Each structure stands twice: as structure tokens, then as C-alpha cells.
Chains A and B, each alone.
Chain A
Amino acid sequence: MEIAVVINKNHGVLAWHNPPGSTNGSIPQSYDLWKVMWENRDDLEGVAHSHPGSGATGPSYTDVTTWSGCELGLGKRLLWWITTSDQLFVFWWVGPEKYDYAGKRVEDPDVLRMEWVQTLRDLSYNPQRGA
């Protein structure tokens, strides 16, 4: 199941996002997620979500258009993480076009050990453990 989590500047969790209608390949439109981002905009670092499977991954067109829209609404740039079951990637806007995002695999053990990373994987790939 794809799940998202909203992260603050201290890498703490502002909110988990697992709305009705989420599937193994998508998270549906939800005004509630935008409300969390807007209400916490001063402390907002970014949003992570999961992709199915293992190994390398990259953003879908849906992902980059959501990232762009949210950043235009907030008036600030964010970090956008995507995890698979065994790898974590982070993406950010580089421009010049609005959908121009770059990314890299996260290999910093301090980040990989963060509680939200493991919980996001548990909830996404082992829901009985994350529950």
C-alpha cells in the first residue's frame, strides 16, 4: 500500500497520510493532506511516500506535478522522499522548468535509521508490523 508521511525540519513526523482509496500504486487526491502542509508550512521540510517493490525508483508524472503544485501554493521549496522496501531516494527542484526535479539515493545512515523511514516501510510493505 502506498502511504505518505509529512516531515518537519527536525525530521519528525507531522502526520501520516493513508487515505481511503490508496492502492499499491497510488495515493488519491486529499484536501486533508494539503491542510496539514499549509497549517505546518513554517516547520515543513518535505513529504515522503512509498512506491511498490524494491530497488531504485523515481517520481511518476503524478508525483512531480503534485510536488510542483504544492511548492507553488506554499511559496517554498521542499524535499520529497520516495522509499521502496530497501532503498530511499530524495528529490528536489532544480529548474528551470517547473517539473525539473533531481534526486539521489539516500545513503546517510543517520537518515536511514530515522524512525519515520522504518515506520513508512512497515506500514507500506508489512502492515501487520506497522499497525
Chain B
Amino acid sequence: MDAFVNITWNGQNGTVPTPVPYDSTNIDILQWAAESVRAGEVPGIDAAEADFTDFVVTRIDAKGDLPPKLIVAPKTPFG
């Protein structure tokens, strides 16, 4: 099953037009996200050298008619 990747970066949000396998690794998804933003391929996000070091992938499972979704957003734990 494939899923679209939604990205938030620099106050902007967009979805990569080409879906990727839902079970891709977090490392791969973050790498693809960085490459997509760098290439200006994400509608709604200006092309940039995005640094996703402190971002994580959240997986939203398919539910009813809603397809699965992969979300790239900042991490939020505190220590």
C-alpha cells in the first residue's frame, strides 16, 4: 500500500505529489522529504535546503474511506 507524504517546513505545509510505500523506513521517508523540498517538488513549500534532523515520521493508518498518510513534522519530546 502506498501513501502520500505530508511535510511541514519553515511555516509551510504541502504534500509530495508522488506516493511512497507506507511501510518505508523513517530514514528513507525523511530523506525523500528533504530531496523533494530541495527540488521544489512539494506544492505549497518553497524550494529549500531543508534540515529534517529533528523531525519524525507519524503514520496515520487508513480508516474507512480515508487513505493512509505519512506525516513529516518536528519531534516534540522533552527530557
Contact = CB atoms under 8 A, between A and B. Distances in A.
Interface stretch (A7-15, A21-29, A104-112, A114-122): A21-29
A65 B10 CA distance: 16
Nearest to B57: A31
A86 B31 CA distance: 43
Contacts of B13: 38
B54 A65 contact: yes
B78 A2 contact: yes
Most buried by B among A2, A49, A68, A69: A69
Interface residues of B, number: 20
Query: DSSP class of B's interface residues: helix, strand, loop or mixed?
Result: strand
Query: DSSP class of A's interface residues: helix, strand, loop or mixed?
Result: helix
Interface in A33-70: 33-34, 37-38, 41, 49, 60-63, 65-66, 68-70
Interface of A: 2, 4, 25-31, 33-34, 37-38, 41, 49, 60-63, 65-66, 68-70, 72-76, 98
Given A34-B73, A74-B74, 13 more contacts: A4-B78, A26-B78, A29-B56, A30-B77, A31-B76, A33-B76, A61-B79, A65-B54, A65-B75, A66-B76, A66-B78, A69-B54, A74-B11
